[in-house]
Amino acid sequence: MKYLLMLALLLPTLSFAGVAKDIADDPVMERRMMHLAEKVRCLVCQSEPVSNSHSDWSNDVRQIMREKMKAGATDQEILDLLVERFGKSVLFDPPVDKETMPLWSAPFILLLLGGAFLVYQLKKRKGMVVEAELSAQEQMRAATLLNDSPAAQAAPSKPSKDTQA
Amino acid sequence: MIPELGHFSLIVALCLAIVLGVLPILGAARNNRVFMGVARPLAYGQLVFVGVAFVTLANAFLSNDFSVLYVAQHSNSQLPAQYRFAAIWGGHEGSLLLWALLLSVWTAAVAAFSRHLPEEMVARVLGVMGLISVGFILFMLFTSSPFERLLPAAADGRDLNPLLQDPGLVIHPPMLYMGYVGFSVAYAFAISALLGGKLDATWARWSRTWTTVAWVFMTIGIALGSGWAYYELGWGGWWFWDPVENASFMPWLLGTALIHSLAVTEKRGAFKSWTVLLAIAAFSLSLLGTFLVRSGVLTSVHSFAADPKRGIFILSFLVLVIGASLLLFAWRAPKVGLGGKFDMLSRESLLLSNNVLLSVASASVFIGTLYPLFMDALGYGKLSVGPPYFEAVFVPLMMPMVFMMGLGPLARWKKMAVPDLASRVKWAFTSALVLALLLPLLMGRFLSLESNKWSPMIVLGLLMAFWIIATLVVGLRQRWSGQGAFMVRVRKQSLSYYGMQLAHLGVALFIIGVTLVKGYETERDVRMNVGDTVMAGGYEFRFNGVTETQGPNYVAGVGHVTVNKDGRLVGELTPEKRQYNVSGMPLTEAAIQTGVFRDLYVSLGEAIPESDGAWAVRVYIKPFIDWIWAGCLLMALGGILAVSDRRYRIHKKAGAAAVSGSQFTVDGSQPEGQAS
Amino acid sequence: MMRFILPFVIFLVLSVFLYKGLGRDTREVPSPLVGKAAPAFVLPLLHEPGKVFSPKEMQGRVWLLNVWASWCGACKDEHPILMALSQQNIVPIIGLDYKDKAVDGEATLRKAGDPYSLVIADADGKVGFDYGVYGVPETYVIDKNGIIAYKLIGALTSQNLREKILPLVAELQAK
């Protein structure tokens, strides 16, 4: 049995072994198509791009994309066509416009705000924290001697309004 | 009768959780020792009863009790035993029970490992966790009991979704949930600190260990999920920016920020209110993730069947838990002290700026994930936000983050002069840059590609990774050099220091993996006759046909593909195309040969009609992809090293806090000592 | 002190959005074609492939374009509704047999009855694509000027027919 299987596996390799053909007629265009398909949402799936979906609809869209590319359409024209047919929600990569301005700018605005806030806080602290005139080494020795945690040690040096509630 | 026992057991657990949520917190407020004392026994009791419920459900699955509706919906008598067990959390109801079980485990763990903590602290922490349990058990009992009967019983079950019939299901959800739920401990510590008005360095110390452990689980959980998607979905992708993936990524990012911010709070007693807010936010995002997955407000491949009633329940719970804690925060946080002094440039400030970046990253993922919902609710119509957005936003945020990640461990606590720091990293940066510029010129040959590919993105990625590694080397050199025996100096460094460096190295490996797989992966999508070969990335794949095999509950076509490189056999790969007996669903099972420098990945497409056994076959060479998960593993390992540090061990003695305090001072001063 | 209450306020706003999002149907995609001219096409009839149909022929009349296929499960659910509707003779229903083999389509209609005034065959799905079809069945309401007034994704039910489509048809016919 095993021998037979081996033979079955070997036979074809002896007879008509060849170099496999790409499924796509034009692999370069296929790559471009798949790249574009990553930006298109499969409408019948849950949350998948057309490039990753096995659904019929995605197959169709990929086919349409191939045809349009063959006809010389640019990526943008193809996306525009899809939006015209299926609406904006077909795009996984929403273009920057009035509605998506907050979306695209939020991370960078937040970063600026966060950075500014941190700098402000650090500056403010510098003025507010009054520390005992001890060097780091002295503090360490004091702490070890007192067998106390540095937090407890720092507490007395804080302004009174900062004490714990 | 047994399933009813499980249901009853849940009700008992609910009662215990209610008492746990009320008495100890009351006791802590009134300094009533008896009330506080009940916290521990109740925590153990709750674990026992939720445990009984869980075992009951497990029994129903393993014994094929199809009179239980949930079992009938998610299992089948043909299903192999390990998947029958894992099917417990294969659906909404059972996964909630897993949540509740793990929450009880964490609660009991806090009860067991908190002998050294002040009594009222333990009482409050356990009380808060009890309250969270109340919410989840109520949710289960009211809207999603896994014990509901199906009368008359089904002859057989509907079977588990084939996509879930995988070792991934056995281990990924429990790990991830351990992480999600683990953040509840950090949250509970934060809330009890706010309640008690005692937000100090000791609080940070205690929560740090728990946070790190939860973070380790979460890191592993996410990595496992990503690996599972990689081999199961057949597209060779490892992260899809799906809403549910994002729901786990957001708390992870905040959890990472929290670990770093706890470091600042612990060392300097500073930015306490920020740290508390992070602890609240990390757990809130875990809860929000639960809501997103189970309410149907977002589309995701992973979401459970949506039910508006469930949505309303979780939303109310969310508003109650998060709203109350944020109000408590608004009330108590203004009274929190400032803490010790440090300069604009210091390790503290670098840690905090990384905090800003991690939080902004988390917020960006949040906004991207929920933006379609916002737009829809405001009446602007539908739109989708997908991977292209997240990638465009995430990379620019990663860059400064990684830059500071290199600087942080080299900077001194409290104060650092710019020229000093610059001179320390000068060489690290230069060598990283040179390597990053040159390496892509050699990669093509190394990976047997037709041509070398040099692109700015590859250089940028490599630069980030090498920068981390180079600064790490500089840091270790500084610590290890000096007088005395080398090994003594190596051993003198704390485990938490090595843990930190290991985790950072993990990030570097992760970046290398992401960069190289994105830059150099090769893909061939071919039609293969029996005996045909295809070349990809220097490997020759030969297709030897498809044979049929019988699995435990499926029939599979098994493709036989032998791989040769330079005339030498590298291995045989057997991708499968399965058809499951019960559901009739097809499933593609990719075959992967993993390797340090590349994965060979083969998946079967469809049989080509009207041909002599020809198939569509997809072949990938994925260079360095395993580095992605190796990186995650190192991060987790780093976390484990950090928590196993002697100084973070739980001390049993009553005066332990003071003792550990002194050790902790020694540690805090180490970098200074180093520099002088 | 305001900044400490800020997280709470942000969270409140967020929960309002989450609440509003609860009832939302994430699968539904509103068609951008509503309010626009129905895309022109020329397609052969299913029963008489020699003849063709074009939407221009329906100029001046309100009509329904129902996209269906023999392989589509939900189409079988809406079939009785369509049969009943065609008997009432309120509005012409043009069927578009989407990505189907003509034999299968004809067989289905022979077995279950033919509610359509006319059936056209869109074997390769090109016209379906122009109409933004992504899930069969879909039903379009097209007015006298050839403008798409409404698009229903999913099966017709007696409820959505009664509450939405028939009133709309009556309104358009009165214009």
What is the pTM assigned to this prediction?
0.89
Tens of pLDDT along C55-102? 999 999 999 999 999 988 888 889 999 999 999 988 999 999 998 898
Instruction: Inspect the interface and report whether the beta carbons of A85 and C33 lie closer than 8 Å.
Output: yes
Whole-number Å distance between alpha carbons of C27 and C154: 11
Report the candidate in C15, C10, C17 with the shortest Cα–Cα distance to residue B315. C15
Structural contact between residues B557 and B604, judged by C-beta atoms closer than 8 angstroms: yes
CB–CB contacts below 8 A, A to C: 32
Average pLDDT over residues B548-556: 93
For B337-378, give the secondary structure using H, E and C.
CCCCCCCCCCHHHHHHHHHHHHHHHHHHHHHHHHHHHHHHHC
Helix residue ranges, H only, chain C = 2-21, 73-88, 102-112, 126-130, 158-160, 166-174
Average pLDDT over residues B11-18: 97
Which of the residues B208, B277, B341, B384 would you substitute to probe the A interface, choosing the one with the greatest number of A C-beta atoms within 10 Å?
B384
pLDDT at C135: 79
Instruction: Inspect the interface and report whether the beta carbons of C1 and B334 lie closer than 8 Å.
Output: yes
Whole-number Å distance between alpha carbons of B398 and B385: 20
Chains that touch B (3 or more CB pairs under 8 A): A, C
Segment 325-354 of chain B within 8 Å of chain C by CB: 326-327, 329-330, 333-334
Chains that touch A (3 or more CB pairs under 8 A): B, C
pLDDT at B665: 33
Residue B577 sits at φ, ψ, to 5 deg, of: -120, 110
Structure-model confidence comparison of residues A130 and C161, the more confident one: C161
Question: Exposed, middle or buried by CB within 10 Å (0-12, 13-18, 19+), for B518?
Answer: middle
Whole-number Å distance between alpha carbons of B530 and B544: 5
Instruction: Inspect the interface and report whether the beta carbons of B560 and A115 lie closer than 8 Å.
Output: no
pLDDT at B336: 78
Compute the nearest-CA separation of B382 from chain A (Å). 5
DSSP C33: T
pLDDT at B183: 97
DSSP B64: T
Q: Give the 3-state secondary structure of residue B490.
A: helix
- Among the partner-chain residues B280, B297, B329, the one whose CB lies closest to the CB of C4 is B329
Q: Is the pLDDT of residue B370 over 90?
A: yes
Residue A155 sits at φ, ψ, to 5 deg, of: -55, -45
Which of the residues A84, A91, A117, A121 would you substitute to probe the C interface, choosing the one with the greatest number of C C-beta atoms within 10 Å?
A84
pLDDT at A139: 54
Kindly state the tokens that stand for B543: 């297709």
Tens of pLDDT along B395-436? 999 999 999 999 999 988 888 888 888 988 999 999 999 999
- Which residues have C-beta within 8 Å of that of residue B626, sequence separation ≥ 6? B513, B594, B595, B596, B599
Average pLDDT over residues C109-131: 90
pLDDT at C25: 67
Place of tokens 């849950």: A46
User: Which chain B residues touch C22 with a CB distance below 8 Å?
Assistant: 295-297, 308, 311-312, 315
Which is it for strands B586-589 and B576-580: parallel, antiparallel or unpaired? antiparallel
| ipTM, two decimals | 0.87
What is the enclosing helix (H) or strand (E) of C53? Answer: strand C52-53
Q: Give the 3-state secondary structure of residue B237.
A: coil
Instruction: Inspect the interface and report whether the beta carbons of B201 and A151 lie closer than 8 Å.
Output: yes
Give the pLDDT band of residue A161 (cuts 50, 70, 90): very low
Nearest CA in chain B to C22: B297
- Among the partner-chain residues B387, B527, B662, the one whose CB lies closest to the CB of A144 is B662
pLDDT at C1: 60
Structural contact between residues C44 and C121, judged by C-beta atoms closer than 8 angstroms: yes
Average pLDDT over residues B257-263: 94
Give the pLDDT band of residue A22 (cuts 50, 70, 90): confident
pLDDT at B376: 87
Average pLDDT over residues A117-121: 90
Average pLDDT over residues A74-96: 91
Instruction: Inspect the interface and report whether the beta carbons of A150 and B353 lie closer than 8 Å.
Output: no
Whole-number Å distance between alpha carbons of B19 and B133: 11
Give me the residues paired with residue B569 across strands: B564
Report the candidate in B165, B173, B155 with the shortest Cα–Cα distance to residue B94. B173
Structural contact between residues B542 and B562, judged by C-beta atoms closer than 8 angstroms: yes
Tens of pLDDT along B155-203? 999 999 898 999 999 999 999 999 999 999 999 999 999 998 888 788 8
Give the pLDDT band of residue B673 (cuts 50, 70, 90): very low
Compute the nearest-CA separation of B584 from chain C (Å). 16
Q: Is the pLDDT of residue B540 over 50?
A: yes
Compute the nearest-CA separation of A74 from chain B (Å). 19
pLDDT at A150: 41
Compute the nearest-CA separation of A85 from chain B (Å). 14
Q: Is C30 on the interface with A (CB under 8 A)?
A: yes
Which is it for strands B576-580 and C52-53: parallel, antiparallel or unpaired? unpaired
pLDDT at B444: 78
User: Which chain B residues touch A27 with a CB distance below 8 Å?
Assistant: 525
User: Which chain C residues touch B299 with a CB distance below 8 Å?
Assistant: 26-27
pLDDT at B598: 93
Instruction: Inspect the interface and report whether the beta carbons of B235 and A88 lie closer than 8 Å.
Output: no
Average pLDDT over residues B545-550: 94
Which of the residues C1, C5, C11 would you substitute to probe the B interface, choosing the one with the greatest number of B C-beta atoms within 10 Å?
C11
Mean of pLDDT over chain B: 89
For B292-316, b/e burial (b = at least 16 CB within 10 A) is bbbbbbbbbbbbbebeeebbebbbe
pLDDT at B302: 67
Average pLDDT over residues B218-236: 90
Least confident of B516-525, B635-644, B651-660: B651-660
Q: Is A85 on the interface with C (CB under 8 A)?
A: yes
Q: What is the dihedral of CA A51, A52, A54, A60, to 10 degrees?
A: -10
Percent of the residues in chain B that have a pLDDT greater than 90, as a whole number: 66
Measured N-to-C along each axis, helices B2-30 and B167-196 cross at an angle, to the nearest 10 degrees, of 20
Q: Give the 3-state secondary structure of residue A26.
A: coil
Q: Is the pLDDT of residue A2 over 90?
A: no
pLDDT at A15: 42
Give the pLDDT band of residue B576 (cuts 50, 70, 90): very high
Average pLDDT over residues C117-128: 90
Place of tokens 């008005």: B197
